[in-house]
């Protein structure tokens, strides 16, 4: 697959949030100016600034887009977390849409306070991409994996193992963005996509994969090793 180029870590604002952040700032600044100039008491101004400034800070944190580089020199058979968040599922399931066999599913739930950029969990080649409309159940519920709006990305590793990565919309999330394209090579360290506001990512692995995380563990996208393929 070739050696991945290492660079310095950087943090930027994700392009998916540029319009939201710019227009939100303009509106907040305009209302704050009106309160400052045309209201006799200063209390409404400061109340507005504190409340909406805090909300804006949360949204700004949400749209951070860290540029990360995994420290492992050899990523063969390595499966990394595709998202920041918390491990909410580690279990064997019947995957009857693509593989029609038992698979090991590891799920990561992302809260509003997590970065919502998604990374490729393995090196390989994108075999299949599909977006499925659906419901908006709370992302941590078991039925969310199949019934919620989601995007499926199947990646074939250099060893010929197929991995399914599923981006899932939650009760608040209303937009899934997938950058993966069928036929393209993909690597750990590259962005797979983005999900706006509260969501989940499932990874379906071969049943004999070695699990490297535990329930409730926090994950850092692209950096936390969640499993190793046999």
71: annotated active-site residue:
no
Residue-by-residue DSSP string for 53-117:
HHHHHHHHHHTEEEE-----S--TTEEE-SSSEEEEEEEEEEETTTT-EEEEEEEEEE-TTS--E
> What number of CA atoms fall less than 13 Å from residue 112's CA on the CB side?
10
Which entry of 54, 71, 111, 199 is annotated as an active-site residue?
Answer: 199
- CA 1/CA 230 separation, integer angstroms: 18
- CA 5/CA 2 separation, integer angstroms: 9
Q: What order of strands is seen across the sheet that includes strand 117-119? A: 117-119, 191-196, 175-178
- CA 135/CA 210 separation, integer angstroms: 32
* CA distance to 28, 60, 111, per residue, from 17 (Å): 16, 8, 16
The string over 141-177, giving b where at least 16 C-beta atoms fall within 10 Å of a residue's C-beta and e elsewhere, is eeebbbebbbbbbbbbbeeebbbbbbbbbbbebeebb
- CA 26/CA 72 separation, integer angstroms: 43
- Which amino acids are annotated catalytic? 199
């Amino acid at each position: 697959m070739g050696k991945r180029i290492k660079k310095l870590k950087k943090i930027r604002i994700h392009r998916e949030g540029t319009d939201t952040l710019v227009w939100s700032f303009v509106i907040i600044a305009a209302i704050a100016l009106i309160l400052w100039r045309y209201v006799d008491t200063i209390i409404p101004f400061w109340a507005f600034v504190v409340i909406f400034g805090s909300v804006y800070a949360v949204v700004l944190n949400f749209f951070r887009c860290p540029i990360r580089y995994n420290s492992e020199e050899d990523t063969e058979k390595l499966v990394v977390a595709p998202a920041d968040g918390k491990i909410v599922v580690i279990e064997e399931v019947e995957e009857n849409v693509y593989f029609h066999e038992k698979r090991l599913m590891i799920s990561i739930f992302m809260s509003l306070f997590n970065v919502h950029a998604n990374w490729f969990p393995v090196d390989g080649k994108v075999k299949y991409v599909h977006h499925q409309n659906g419901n908006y159940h709370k992302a941590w519920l078991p039925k969310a994996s199949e019934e919620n709006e989601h995007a499926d990305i199947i990646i074939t590793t250099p060893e010929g193992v197929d991995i399914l990565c599923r981006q899932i919309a939650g009760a608040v999330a209303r937009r899934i963005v997938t950058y993966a394209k069928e036929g393209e090579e993909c690597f750990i360290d590259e962005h797979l996509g983005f999900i706006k506001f509260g969501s989940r990512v499932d990874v379906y692995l071969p049943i004999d994969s070695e699990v490297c995380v535990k329930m409730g563990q926090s994950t850092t996208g692209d950096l936390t090793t969640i499993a190793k393929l046999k």
